[in-house]
Amino acid sequence: QVQLVESGGGLVQAGGSLRLSCAASGRTFSRYAMAWFRQAPGKEREFVAAISWGGASTIYADSMKGRFTISRDNPKNTVYLQMNSLKPEDTAVYYCAAGHSSSMNERSYNYWGQGTQVTVSS
C-alpha cells in the first residue's frame, strides 16, 4: 500500500503558477497510477489529471488541458502537478490519489492524501 502527503499549495495571484507535490511512502510506488483531484467548497470532487505507472500516459480534464501538467519521478516516489495560468475558479483543495490503473473516476483510486489548499486571488 501507499501513503500520500501533498504539499506546495498556497496563495497565488491569478495568472500565476504553483507546483504541487505528492510524496509517497511505500516500496511499490512505481507500480501505481497516480492522479490529482480537487474539491471546491460546495462542489463535487473533480478530476484534474492522471498519470500511468510508468509516466508514459497522461489524462487531463478538459478545463486543465494546456495549463496543468502531471508528472512523476519514481526514484523520488513523488508525483507533481504543475499549474500555470491559474484562475480564481482553480481555488480548491487538491488531493493526490493512487490506484492500479489511471482513470478519471475517483473510485479507481484506493489511496488518498489529506489534500493541500490552493487559493487563487483575482
% of the chain exceeding 70 in pLDDT: 99
- Higher per-residue confidence, 26 vs 61: 61
Q: Confidence band (pLDDT; 50, 70, 90) for 1? A: confident
Q: Which of 2, 30, 34, 32 is nearest to 20 (CA)?
A: 34
pLDDT reading at 30 higher than 90: no
Q: What is the pLDDT of residues 41-97, one digit of tens each?
A: 999 999 999 999 888 899 999 988 899 999 999 889 999 999 999 999 999 999 999
**What is the signed CA dihedral for 87, 83, 43, 4, rounded to 10 degrees?**
-160
Cβ 74 vs Cβ 26: under 8 Å: no
Query: How much is the pLDDT for 69?
Result: 97
* Average pLDDT across the chain, whole number: 94
Query: How much is the pLDDT for 47?
Result: 97
